[in-house]
Amino acid sequence: MTLTTMTARSGGAATRDRSVVVVLLLMLALVFGPAIGLHVAVNLLGPGPSPDGLAATATEAPRGARG
């Protein structure tokens, strides 16, 4: 079995690695940022009055009713 030694990476490879990490973080922020922001906004604003025709809480369906 032959083991090879690891050599130091060149400056160009380290720069490419950093660029990949920046792009990855940017893409994650673009994907998850709006969803997180929406959840934060809903929690900050709290539950408001429900629109007409919608129940504020879950209710049981009457017996014999079909869904």
**pLDDT digit string, tens, across residues 12-64:** 778 888 999 999 999 999 999 999 999 888 888 877 666 666 655 556 666 77
State residue 59's pLDDT score.
61
Distance CA 37, CA 32 (A): 8
**pLDDT digit string, tens, across residues 4-14:** 766 666 667 78
State residue 67's pLDDT score.
56
State residue 33's pLDDT score.
95
* Residue corresponding to tokens 């709290």: 46
pTM over 0.75: no
State residue 56's pLDDT score.
56
Distance CA 60, CA 45 (A): 28
- Over the range 36-61, which residues count as b (16 or more CB within 10 Å of their CB) and which as e? eeeeeeeeeeeeeeeeeeeeeeeeee
CA 14 to chain centre: 28
